[in-house]
Structure 1
């Protein structure tokens, strides 16, 4: 079975949600025209890291994001891993949230970022999530994570051991640490014997620059696609039959010793 993914490596307009919703809607259309099964976006794409302006910018209960992604998925018949967006809920608490939609526009999963990145002051403004995200898109077992989560292999293993064949990572990973991004994405693919689709942004905000290098990596850590440093769509075909070949000889999940470390 093959599964075609579209990596939407976009530039995010800081503090301009309307402009960003337009960018995302157009990218969904373009990905669908190219025959992709799923399109994936980066982290905090509705606002960027405008954390001090969340009271004005955050999406109330994710309403606008849900409406936009659901409609785009249904109209274009493509699944969407909706990156993540800044949301606000009852009580005025803010979250960094992913929404996942199937090709019929149905919400199939959501995820609040669990590990908050103090270096970008995220922990001062946003509440941490407390649950993992495991879902299916077109029959493919999948899991999703956000940016800083990538540095916590135990969190990936906790979710991936449910049987994830494709792992999605959405991020705003700054340029100075991009080599670590690449190394960690490959490591998460190898140790969990899964495809990893990792989507980063490009562009600049008030304090950081981002140079993309979104990656699609196979279960052996080989890079199938690298989006480079420019905005745009990058496509990759995942041959899911490869998973049997990789997992058979080295059954890492079977050989785990949870009695020692869980």
Structure 2
């Protein structure tokens, strides 16, 4: 599976500008002929949470049409980062996944809301898992703060997932924790972790995002490390047979004590 990571800046509260930028980045990603392209978290609005009433994508329809059309026209799967959407009078941080035919194969709304960036004040939490099959491979996806909850990730990975996609706006001061957590999720679940983080700055001077997007193999080795503080398309190919090999050597999932814990 060849994967293209889109590491990009996000303009605060500018969904029209951001959509145009995302389209340009998706087109750049096509050069490497990837199987799947991965976008960052909240690429449509950024964390303009107090403006969501006028900015959030209603029912996610515009984002869905945009991503579906691009996937279909270019025969490429898209892990659509996440977007701020409005549904039934509430706001959600939601990921859409499309296959190469442009079919919507997964919807996931962020389960763990991050209080330090006021998500819990403005947004509602999701309440569903994020498991899907992409090109015949079972995969899962989570959003940013979710990676601090290994029990949530394991709940999904235990269903046979070989790849965990992570989309984020993870601030630079905690980027060392980002790398540690991603490696831990890869090792404990014996799976590839594909993680995309944004670059740039938010309206708060303390919100600096350095990127540090990564692909990590089932043994915790870094397959790809994106340049920090730089926009770009970063591509790598992963061999999914490595997952089976590692799981065969140390059968973590078979050895779990589900009579004591889930």
Bin for the TM-score computed over the shorter chain: over 0.9
Unaligned runs of 5+ in 2: none
| Deviation for aligned residue 1:77 | 1.0
Please give the secondary structure, in 1, of the residue aligned with 2:238: strand
Please give the secondary structure, in 2, of the residue aligned with 1:235: strand
2:65 maps to: 67
2:233 maps to: 233
- Over the aligned positions, Cα root-mean-square deviation in angstroms equals 0.7
Q: In structure 2, how many angstroms separate the alpha carbons of the residues matched to 1:201 and 1:83?
A: 10
Contact 1:28–1:73, Cα closer than 8 Å, also in 2: no
After superposition, give the CA deviation of every residue in 1:42-68 in whole Å (9 maximum; x if it has no partner): 110000000000001000000110011
Which stretches of structure 1, 4 residues or longer, exceed 3 Å deviation after superposition? none
1:204 maps to: 201
Q: In structure 2, how many angstroms separate the alpha carbons of the residues matched to 1:226 and 1:249?
A: 27
| Deviation for aligned residue 1:260 | 1.2
Decide which of 186, 189, 206 is 2:183's aligned counterpart: 186
Q: In structure 2, how many angstroms separate the alpha carbons of the residues matched to 1:257 and 1:169?
A: 27
Structure 1 length normalisation: TM-score? 0.98
Provide the aligned length of Structure 1 versus Structure 2: 259
Q: In the alignment, is residue 126 of structure 1 matched against residue 123 of structure 2?
A: yes
Please give the secondary structure, in 1, of the residue aligned with 2:176: helix
Q: In structure 1, how many angstroms separate the alpha carbons of the residues matched to 2:255 and 2:241?
A: 22
Q: In structure 1, how many angstroms separate the alpha carbons of the residues matched to 2:160 and 2:29?
A: 27
Unaligned runs of 5+ in 1: none
Q: In structure 2, how many angstroms separate the alpha carbons of the residues matched to 1:252 and 1:46?
A: 38
* 1:1-262 matches, cutoff 5 A: 3-90=1-88, 92-207=89-204, 208-229=207-228, 230-262=230-262
Q: In structure 2, how many angstroms separate the alpha carbons of the residues matched to 1:25 and 1:138?
A: 23
Q: In structure 2, how many angstroms separate the alpha carbons of the residues matched to 1:145 and 1:220?
A: 20
| Deviation for aligned residue 1:34 | 1.2
